[in-house]
């Protein structure tokens, strides 16, 4: 696995970021460095932003190899950890702009849910947005992106490595539309 010095520096800074630490009921307990939260198996807050174009296709992007979780996996949502002192809504707007270069769009909140895997325990807030603006990818976190139909994503789930947490967010979003 080859990681650029720029990606390595970004990863180190990311690991030191102070993020929201919560309990199983999403009650705020304080803030901890991201790496400590992960290493201790504690619960953090996270946002997932499903970015659609006007044709109804979803932006899917590949994570860089320097990511602590799911390096090189395909991700169906922009997003990330909620910073200390930040609301879910503030985090969603920040993450969408940082990762994909999209700002000034309406973010529609859908729901919160708890995601629990041994290496990834999160309270998640799901948002969606629509934009046809050109993407500006954050090179330290996103190596490529494309828009795909939901049917194509469903067909690719068995053959491509997708982030399980963002797939859970997409599944919950899709279920809410039925």
DSSP for 126-143?
EEEEE--SPP---TTTEE
pLDDT at position 16: 74
Asked if the structure places residue 93 within a domain, the reply is yes
pTM of the model: 0.92
Asked if the structure places residue 145 within a domain, the reply is yes
pLDDT at position 83: 96
What string of pLDDT tens digits covers the 178 residues of the chain? Answer: 577 777 766 666 676 789 999 999 999 999 999 999 999 999 999 999 999 999 999 999 999 998 888 999 999 999 999 999 999 999 999 999 999 999 999 999 999 999 999 889 999 999 999 999 999 999 989 999 999 999 999 999 989 999 999 999 999 999 888 7
SS3 content of the chain, % helix, strand, coil (to 5): 30, 35, 35
Residue that the structure tokens 């828009």 belong to: 147
The dihedral built from the CA positions of residue 133, 138, 141 and 142, taken in this order, carries a sign that is positive
pLDDT at position 15: 67
Whether the Cβ atoms of residue 160 and residue 74 lie closer than 8 Å to each other: yes
The dihedral built from the CA positions of residue 135, 141, 143 and 149, taken in this order, carries a sign that is negative
pLDDT at position 119: 86
Q: How far apart are CA 12 and CA 74, in angstroms?
A: 22
**Domain containing 131 — which CATH number?**
3.90.79.10
| Residues β-bridged to residue 115 | 122
Number of domains making up the chain: 1
Q: How many CB atoms lie within 10 A of CB 117?
A: 11
Asked if the structure places residue 1 within a domain, the reply is no
Tokens of 86: 């930040």
Asked if the structure places residue 157 within a domain, the reply is yes
Asked if the structure places residue 88 within a domain, the reply is yes
For residue 66, what are the domain limits? 16-177
Binding site members? 95, 99
Asked if the structure places residue 169 within a domain, the reply is yes
Q: Is 16 exposed, middle or buried (0-12, 13-18, 19+ CB in 10 A)?
A: exposed
Binding site members for Mg(2+)? 95, 99
């Amino acid at each position: 696995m080859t990681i650029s010095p720029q990606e390595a520096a970004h990863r180190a800074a990311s690991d030191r970021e102070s993020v929201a630490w919560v309990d199983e009921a999403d009650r705020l307990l304080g803030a901890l460095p991201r790496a400590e939260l992960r290493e201790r198996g504690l619960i953090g807050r996270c946002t997932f932003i499903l970015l659609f174009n006007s044709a109804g296709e979803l932006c899917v992007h590949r994570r860089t190899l320097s990511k602590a979780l799911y390096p090189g996996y395909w991700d169906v949502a922009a997003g990330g950890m909620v910073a200390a002192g930040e609301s879910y809504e503030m985090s969603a707007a920040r993450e969408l702009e940082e990762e994909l270069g999209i700002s000034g769009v309406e973010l529609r909140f859908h729901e919160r849910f708890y995601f629990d895997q041994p290496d990834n325990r999160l309270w998640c807030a799901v948002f969606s947005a629509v934009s046809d603006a050109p993407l500006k990818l954050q090179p330290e976190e996103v190596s490529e992106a494309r828009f795909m139909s939901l049917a194509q994503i469903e067909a690719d789930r068995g053959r491509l490595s997708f982030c399980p947490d963002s797939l859970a967010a997409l599944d919950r979003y899709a279920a809410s539309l039925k």
